[in-house]
């Protein structure tokens, strides 16, 4: 592949697929390191109306109705895989064998066996395979990570983290791939995969064991849809019900390598919380908290004030903080930033790596498949803890 001209495709035209498609379109407009020309080639989805609409909306040259077409295309070099987790392995292995660079959505797969096989395939490949851990690109989360890393907070004592979503709170939401799979492949894998890597990120330490795991399915059956489902939201349903196989709510506690404790809670049935992601980090010198619903602010408390003035301060994010300067068209303090920008920064980092731009002159690299496998092992430990009544399970055992 010539790095003088990079052809891009996205497999999957759902909500996250659109985020990837838009991110590649915007990636050339942020930061100063020069990218080679980027060609937006194809959006692929088995549901052709979604593939066609997404390709037209984001300026891609064409649309395809099979992932095999992307594998076989000579004009495509870089591919994002944004489909059901159970489909990742077959698609990713085929893309790598065909010499494509791959950016796979999290989690890596829905089984440990498939995830391990994907890591092995990435190791054999001559091209780059990366996982999208998008929230690490948030300026707010990145600042909290910096506060832990540079010891502003001192020794970390504990982390409190939650990710509440309501996309499945309505029992009338139809059955889909998200509601199928083994224990732990529901809310724990969907939003918990984000929360678990973020808990480690903001504490600047890895989770070594989990305990107190719980998994709960609160809506046991859901109606079948009348037609195809693309993205989220209400669609027409039939009167026929199908069984939900995985978890709506999950929680677990964890021990980190630095001695800190963490408590993590996730839900896909949290009414009134469409996308509520928040962390608090407590240390010997103070504390920091970040709520993604207020993405331009980090709250900070430090033991350095006069007693009469002690309290939480609000840090308004701006050009002196991670990802901000040059990463936004208006990179002034307090200008809005959110999850969409995270996808842009992620795509930019991936294209820079593919183009051979040195990391010193670019954004930090995306996580590799080994990191993605470790994240799955963490979630697997949480699921096994839950199935064993909350017992302590070491990550990776």
- DSSP H or E run through 363: none
| Chain segment 81-111, per-residue pLDDT in tens | 999 999 999 999 999 999 999 999 999 998 8
Please tell me the predicted confidence (pLDDT) of residue 132: 86
Mean pLDDT of the 288-314 span: 92
Q: Read out DSSP for 148-170? A: HHTTTT-SEEEEEEEEE--TT-S
pLDDT tens across 229-239, in order?
655 666 888 88
169, 173, 250, 273 from 222: Cα distances, Å: 11, 7, 19, 20
Over 60: is that where the pLDDT of 164 sits?
yes
Do 51 and 65 form a contact (C-beta atoms < 8 A)? yes
Tokens standing for residue 218? 């609160």
> Which of the four CATH numbers 3.40.50.300, 3.30.360.10, 3.30.420.40, 3.10.20.740 does domain 139-336+375-386 have?
3.30.360.10
In angstroms, the first-to-last Cα distance of the chain is 39
- Mean pLDDT for 178-202 is 94
Q: Which residues, in sequence order, are bridge partners of residue 283? A: 156
For 53-79, what is the mean pLDDT? Answer: 98
In the CATH scheme, what is the code of domain 6-135?
Answer: 3.40.50.720
Tell me if 38 sits within 8 A of 350, measured CB to CB.
no
Sequence spans of domains, the chain: 6-135, 139-336+375-386
Q: What distance in Å separates the CA atoms of residue 197 and residue 219, rounded to the nearest whole number?
A: 27
Separation CA 125–CA 119 (nearest Å):
10
pLDDT in tens, 195-220: 999 999 999 999 999 999 999 999 99
Q: Which one, of 85, 126, 86, 84, lies nearest residue 102 by Cα?
A: 126
Residue 1: the pLDDT is 46
**pLDDT tens sequence across 329-368:** 899 998 888 899 999 999 999 999 999 998 878 899 999 9
pLDDT digits (tens, 9 = 90+) for 238-282: 889 999 999 999 999 999 999 999 999 999 999 999 999 999 999
Look-up: residue for tokens 């990710």? 163
The owner of tokens 């609160």 is 218
């Amino acid at each position: 592949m010539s790095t003088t001209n990079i052809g891009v495709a996205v497999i999957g035209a759902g909500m996250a697929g659109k985020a990837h498609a838009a991110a590649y379109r915007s990636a050339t407009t942020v930061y100063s390191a020069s990218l080679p020309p980027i060609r937006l080639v194809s959006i692929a989805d088995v549901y052709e109306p979604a593939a066609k609409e997404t390709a037209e909306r984001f300026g891609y040259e064409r649309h395809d109705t099979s992932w095999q077409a992307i594998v076989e295309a000579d004009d495509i070099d870089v591919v994002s895989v944004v489909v059901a987790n159970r489909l990742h392995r077959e698609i990713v292995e085929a893309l790598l064998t065909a010499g494509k660079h791959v950016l796979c959505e999290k989690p890596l797969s829905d089984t440990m066996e498939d995830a391990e096989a994907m890591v092995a395939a990435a190791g054999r490949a001559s091209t780059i395979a990366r996982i999208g851990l998008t929230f690490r690109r948030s300026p707010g989360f990145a600042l909290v990570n910096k506060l832990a890393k540079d010891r502003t907070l001192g020794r970390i004592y504990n982390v409190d983290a939650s990710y509440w979503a309501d996309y499945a709170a309505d029992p009338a939401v139809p059955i889909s791939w998200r509601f199928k799979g083994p224990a732990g492949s529901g809310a724990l894998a969907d939003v918990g995969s984000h929360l678990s890597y973020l808990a480690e990120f903001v504490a600047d330490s890895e989770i070594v064991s989990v305990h107190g795991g719980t998994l709960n399915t609160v809506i046991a059956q859901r109606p079948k849809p009348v037609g195809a489902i693309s993205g989220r939201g209400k669609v027409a349903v039939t009167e026929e019900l199908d069984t939900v196989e995985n978890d709506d709510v999950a929680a677990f506690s964890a021990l980190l390598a630095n001695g800190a404790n963490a408590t993590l809670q996730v839900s896909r049935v949290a009414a009134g919380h469409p996308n509520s992601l928040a962390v608090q980090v407590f240390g010997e010198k103070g504390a920091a908290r970040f709520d993604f619903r207020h993405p331009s602010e980090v709250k900070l408390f430090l033991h350095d004030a006069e007693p009469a003035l002690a309290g939480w301060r609000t840090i308004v994010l701006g050009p002196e903080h991670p990802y901000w300067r040059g990463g936004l068209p208006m990179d002034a303090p307090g200008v809005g930033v959110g999850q969409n920008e995270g996808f842009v920064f992620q795509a930019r980092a991936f294209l820079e790596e593919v183009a051979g731009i040195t990391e010193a002159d670019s954004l930090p690299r995306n996580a590799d498949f080994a990191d993605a496998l470790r994240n799955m092992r963490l979630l697997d430990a949480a699921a096994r803890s839950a199935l064993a009544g909350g017992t302590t399970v070491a990550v990776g055992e």
